[in-house]
Amino acid sequence: MRVQCEPFLFVIGSTVRLSDLPKGALAVVDRVDDAHANDPIAQRLRDLGFVDGESVQVVACAPLGADPLLIRIGFTRFALRRAEAARVAVRSEVAA
Amino acid sequence: MSADALRIALVGNPNCGKTALFNLLTGGRQKVANYAGVTIERKEGRFVAPSGRMLQILDLPGAYSFDAVSPDEQITRDVLEGNYPGEAPPDLIVCVADATNLRLHLRFLLEVRRLGRPVVLALNMMDAARRRGIVIDVAELSRRLGLPVVETVAVKRGGAQALVERVDGELPQPSPAQADDAASRADLHAQVRELLAATVRMPRQTAELDDALDRWALHPVFGLAILAVVMFLVFQAVYAAGKPMSDLIGDGFGWLGNHLATWLPAGPLQGLVTDGLCGGLGTVLGFLPEILVLFFFILVLEESGYLPRAAFLLDRLMVSVGLTGRSFIPLLSSFACAIPGIMGTRSITDPRDRLATILVAPLMTCSARLPVYALLIAAFIPSRAVLGMFNLQGLVLFALYAAGIAGAMLVGWVMKRIRRDRSEHALLMELPSYRLPKVRDVGIGLYERSMIFLKRLTGVILALTVLMWALSSFPAPPAGATGPAIDYSFAGYLGRAFAHIFALIGFNWQMSLALIPAFAARETAVAALATVYAVGGETAAGLGPALASHISLASALSLLVWFAYAPQCMSTLAVIKRETDSWRNVAISFGYMFVMAYVASFLTFQIASALA
């Protein structure tokens, strides 16, 4: 289980999956990738505000298998399963 | 009248207070709670504005986007676009937004604005926003949006004053209609960000209190422990707080029956009043306190915002048994009654998850089963302390609820194994801010529930009780009969015929007979048993002792298990038909539950008999 709050260092100019972001680390959304053509889940994520430049943070992980994740995006909290969070690419906040 | 009424639709993101506003405007008593997807249907109400104009208000389910993903979001989109059958598009759209959570709410407003209809923005929960130090430049927001913006506090009397004045005035100019396509949708977020930057100042992104509470409530270890303790306390409280009041009501009706018996002439009428009405209905009415205690806790949990957290904690577990975290809230409301539970599944986006939830919802012990459980537990399980702090009766009750949950998990798991569709389905669930439950909302909920219960009691349960009494009393035994009179009645014959089916699971003919009216309403099993034993002249000391002297412990346990799994009442089957539009699903749920109940009761009876 990934439960850590140490500062997380991004390689400048690179992105990581939101599902790989350590708990507590701040990041901004880069983009949402479709898992397949016409991915309705990816479209929904975009509608819910997972768009370029939005600040995002993993706030909590559920007890069983650290899935789902509690994500703070802007000033809303969304519960996302890991597979959903994996569609979101995030980058370092400062490098935005 | 309705032709010249101004038609106003309330729309907005889930959980922004549309229904609270609706109730405040129309004096309605629609259910409000603190999670997304409470309102699942269009609701209509009307009121007369100060100008004397009739306003017709339409409360619609919450939606995040016009790209609807669930049946309830679809209703909202169809009504707004004028595609809802038999419903003209509204004259005015009031877009309700949670002032503490404007980002997504404003985005939806921008989508609504593109319809090209008159729109007013109501910034709701302004009191909470001020408490959090959020400052909104309303005039600037209104100017940039090009539409009127009013502040509201839907949970306070007079909190919609500004909105009423605004909608009572002239209709605002609509914005030009715009087409909806993917590129322009992506653009909406950018517009929102610009709006927020120019008009809203927030000291921090989320409420400090929410973050602090979530650190505990969502903690991997403490979170689960808190959830378990909360659930356990609820069921203990049902027994501890409800029981004394139930006993009082039961005693009262016993006393009333005895007094009426001395007044009325001996004969069929006396039997109906004392045995059927006081004995049967009185016993059922006695369980109202327990039901209200259960509802009190469910309402408080719903209002607090804790339920979506519980759904978050349990999502993985529920996925492993073929459900989803989103199933949690409909399943929890099924503890009250499976009907609102099944209707609540409309907020589950995925049809497969939704059907699975509908099929297992009746396994959650509904409040109508509580009288049956409470009666049998009081009669057969000794009231003694276990481990110094728990009551054995409370523990058995908890075990029955747990049996229902375990059954649902088993059924969900089996369904998951059978079905072929293994595609991915999303959770994507918003967690609301915590809120202190409002006394008024909980009060309304309890009042509504009491009224439903009393209507059932004076309607279907009364009718069935009178019918059971008539069946048990007629025909009179032939001259020279030696056995008890009831053995010669219709009820006696019917019961014995049914008893053949249920002999293997330990039911006597009285119990078998009581199952028939229980199919119409669960509580009637208690009234029916009371009536049958009363007519048989066995309940001098009350129904509990009468049962205890005629039924073995094994049979009683078997009956308890039967009620945990047995096919649900007719109304539930009717709702499954309506919600899934399929007789096949009705047949599946009736069939699997009958088999499950029979097998479980058979095992219980045989094992308990062997051990006794």
Residues 6 or more apart whose CB falls under 8 angstroms from that of B107 comprise A47, A49, B65, B188, B189, B192
CA-nearest of B104, B159, B158 to B130 is: B159
CA-nearest of B94, B163, B97 to B136 is: B97
Give the per-residue pLDDT at B144: 93
Work out the minimum CA distance from A11 to partner chain B, whole angstroms: 26
Contact B214 A70 (CB under 8 A): yes
Size of interface A-B (CB pairs under 8 A): 115
pTM comes to 0.84
Give the per-residue pLDDT at B404: 93
pLDDT tier, A4 (very low <50, low <70, confident <90, very high otherwise)? very low
Give the per-residue pLDDT at B267: 66
**Runs of H (alpha helix) within B32-101:** 71-81
Q: Pick from B101, B315, B325: which is nearest to A76 by CB? A: B101
Q: What's the CA gap between B165 and B49, in Å, rounded?
A: 8
Q: Dig out the tokens for B256 from the structure.
A: 């009333």
Cα angle value B122/B123/B127 (rounded, 5°): 135
Nearest CA in chain B to A2: B220
Find how far residue B30's CA is from the centre of its chain. Answer: 13
Q: What's the CA gap between B95 and B73, in Å, rounded?
A: 15
Residues of B in CB contact (< 8 Å) with A are 64-65, 67, 69, 100-101, 103-104, 107, 185-186, 189-190, 193, 202, 205-206, 210-211, 214-215, 218-221, 223-224, 308, 311-313, 315-317, 319, 325, 424, 426-431
Work out the minimum CA distance from A42 to partner chain B, whole angstroms: 10
Q: Pick from A48, A78, A79: which is nearest to B315 by CB? A: A79
Low-confidence ranges of chain B (pLDDT < 70): 1-3, 180-183, 239, 266-268, 275-276, 481-484, 535-542
* pLDDT tens sequence across A22-67: 998 889 999 999 988 888 889 889 888 898 888 999 999 998 888 8
Q: What's the CA gap between B420 and B163, in Å, rounded?
A: 51
Q: Dig out the tokens for A90 from the structure.
A: 């995030």
- Chain B contact set for A70 (CB, 8 A): 214, 218, 312, 431
- Chain A contact set for B214 (CB, 8 A): 59-60, 70, 77
Q: Pick from B64, B218, B424: which is nearest to A48 by CB? A: B64
- Chain A contact set for B215 (CB, 8 A): 60
- Chain B contact set for A60 (CB, 8 A): 214-215, 218-219
> Which of A41, A55, A71, A81 has the highest number of chain B CBs within 10 A, making it the mutation to test binding with B?
A81
Instruction: Say whether pLDDT at A95 is over 50.
Output: no
Q: Containing H/E element for B45?
A: strand B43-48
Work out the minimum CA distance from B225 to partner chain A, whole angstroms: 11
Contact A63 B224 (CB under 8 A): yes
- Chain A contact set for B183 (CB, 8 A): none
Contact B189 A79 (CB under 8 A): no
B227, HSE (Cβ side, Cα atoms, 13 Å): 22
Tell me the Cα Rg of chain B: 28
Give the per-residue pLDDT at B483: 67
DSSP 3-state of B323:
coil
